[in-house]
Amino acid sequence: MKEYQAKTDCLADKTILITGAGDGIGKTLALQCAQFGATVILLGKTVKKLEAVYDQIEEIGKQQASILPLDLNGATESHYDDLADTIKREYGKLDALVHNASQLGVLGPFAQIEKSTWDDVIQTNLTAQFMLTKALIPVLSLAKHASTLFTTSSVGNQGRAYWGAYSISKFATEGMMQTLADEFENSTLRFNAINPGATRTGMRANAFPAENTALLKMPADIMPAYLYLLSDDSINVTGQRINAQ
């Protein structure tokens, strides 16, 4: 899968929603999806960043992207219901949903986690994913095959000191993925989780400010596993935790 060679048109006719599409891994993924023929819905917090990705997709010259500005930390169920109605009206179906946006919060001793940090991390990394997935299941069900991809971490199935709320949110993310995969077994919906591994982004720099970034993979290096999981080559894969590196 890490060696997956995506065919030029492997995402043609697919509409793919990516959260956190304005920066880091989500940005590179949005550009790759557009390159392989998908119509990409760019969801994120900072409109300027989303507009820059939109412009780069215009330069690729395939399908036009769209921008969905949303702060996952403040959005309510009605925002997600409206978003699902809009996607159904504009595109008729959704072929893939990539839960990529996350917040690191503050790393440090468990006993010093502020309740406000806990709430922010759990809201963005977990509750928002629950509400977005719930709202979009009917629209995903309209596609011939639909892939929902959650983003986990190396601390998402093995706890680590000082990674508190972030690590716990990723454990729960994997739990949500497994619950959905089991519930939708034998359907057209599949659910998997991807662990990007250490990748050179803003979040990584916040977590490890002193490391030598030259040794890290770039977001572009980890794209084959993402493209595999979004393409029809993975229609029989569900309930898996996949390492992109």
User: What are the two backbone dihedrals, phi and then psi, of residue 66, each rounded to the nearest 5 degrees?
Assistant: -135, 155
Q: Please pick, from the candidates 52, 60, 68, 73, the single residue that binds ligand NAP as defined by CB under 6 A.
A: 73
CB of 238 to ligand NAP, least distance (A): 20
CB of 115 to ligand NAP, least distance (A): 18
CB 38 within 8 A of CB 63: yes
Question: For residue 137, which of 188, 186, 172 has the smallest C-alpha distance?
Answer: 188
Asked if residue 101 binds ligand NAP (CB under 6 A), the reply is yes
Q: Which residue is nearest to ligand NAP (CB)?
A: 24
Q: Mark 30-59 with x for binding to ligand NAP (rule: CB under 6 A) and - for no binding.
A: --------------xxx--x----------
Asked if residue 153 binds ligand NAP (CB under 6 A), the reply is yes
For residues 205 and 85, give the distance between their C-alpha atoms in angstroms, rounded to a whole number: 37
For residues 199 and 150, give the distance between their C-alpha atoms in angstroms, rounded to a whole number: 17
- 166 a catalytic residue: yes
Positions in 154-183 near ligand NAP (CB under 6 A): none
Positions in 121-150 near ligand NAP (CB under 6 A): 124
Q: Which is nearer to ligand NAP, 92 or 202 (CB)?
A: 202
Asked if residue 201 binds ligand NAP (CB under 6 A), the reply is yes
Q: Which amino acid is at 135?
A: A
For residues 92 and 42, give the distance between their C-alpha atoms in angstroms, rounded to a whole number: 17
CB of 196 to ligand NAP, least distance (A): 5
Q: 183-186: list long-range contacts, CB under 8 Å, 24+ apart.
A: 184/238, 185/238, 185/239
Instruction: Please give the order of strands across the beta sheet that includes 15-19.
Output: 66-69, 39-44, 15-19, 96-99, 146-151, 189-195, 241-243
CB 170 within 8 A of CB 156: yes
| Candidates 54, 80, 91, 166; catalytic one | 166
Please count the residues of this chain forming the interface with ligand NAP, following the rule CB under 6 A: 27
Where along the sequence are the contacts to ligand NAP (CB under 6 A)?
Answer: 20, 22-26, 44-46, 49, 71-73, 100-103, 124, 151, 153, 196, 198-199, 201-204
Q: So which residues are the catalytic ones?
A: 166
